[in-house]
């Protein structure tokens, strides 16, 4: 299920909201500065700089946290579905028992 969540924009946004603020201020400053540098770098010169590697490294830290949160969300959704299935089954048995007692 976590694999499915990777392609789900709503689940990705939810995971991002859960992890917001987990990284230290140095990371956020590095992201902002890298984005600033990206904005001021000619696309043709990107490969002549270390900027892409820097951005990739910064993205990896965020991606790892999002992956962990997506897994946790999927795990919780599976547990919730199992609990709901047990509740539904218990309600169905109770309804059947009540119906049989009325006969």
Q: Return d(Cα 16, Cα 19) in angstroms, integer.
A: 5
Average pLDDT over the chain reads: 94
Joined together, the tokens standing for residue 96 give 């059947």
CA distance to 3, 4, 73, per residue, from 7 (Å): 8, 6, 14
| Predicted confidence band of residue 1 (pLDDT cuts 50, 70, 90) | confident
Domain that holds residue 38: 2-102
* pLDDT in the model for residue 94: 94
- How crowded is residue 11: how many other Cβ atoms within 10 Å of its Cβ? 20
Summarised one tens digit per residue, pLDDT across range 51-60 is 999 999 999 9
Joined together, the tokens standing for residue 92 give 């169905």
> Could you tell me the pTM of the whole model?
0.76
Q: Residue 81, by phi and psi: left (phi above 0), alpha (psi -120 to 50) or beta?
A: alpha
Structurally, how many domains does the chain consist of?
1
């Amino acid at each position: 299920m976590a694999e499915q969540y990777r392609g789900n924009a709503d689940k990705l946004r939810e995971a991002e909201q859960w992890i917001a603020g987990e990284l230290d201020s140095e990371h956020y400053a590095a992201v902002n500065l890298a984005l600033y540098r990206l904005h001021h770098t000619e696309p043709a010169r990107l490969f002549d700089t270390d900027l892409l590697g820097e951005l990739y490294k910064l993205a990896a830290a965020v991606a790892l946290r999002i992956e962990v949160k997506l897994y946790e969300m999927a795990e919780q959704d599976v547990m919730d579905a199992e609990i709901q299935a047990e509740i539904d089954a218990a309600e169905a048995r109770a309804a059947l028992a009540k119906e049989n007692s009325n006969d």
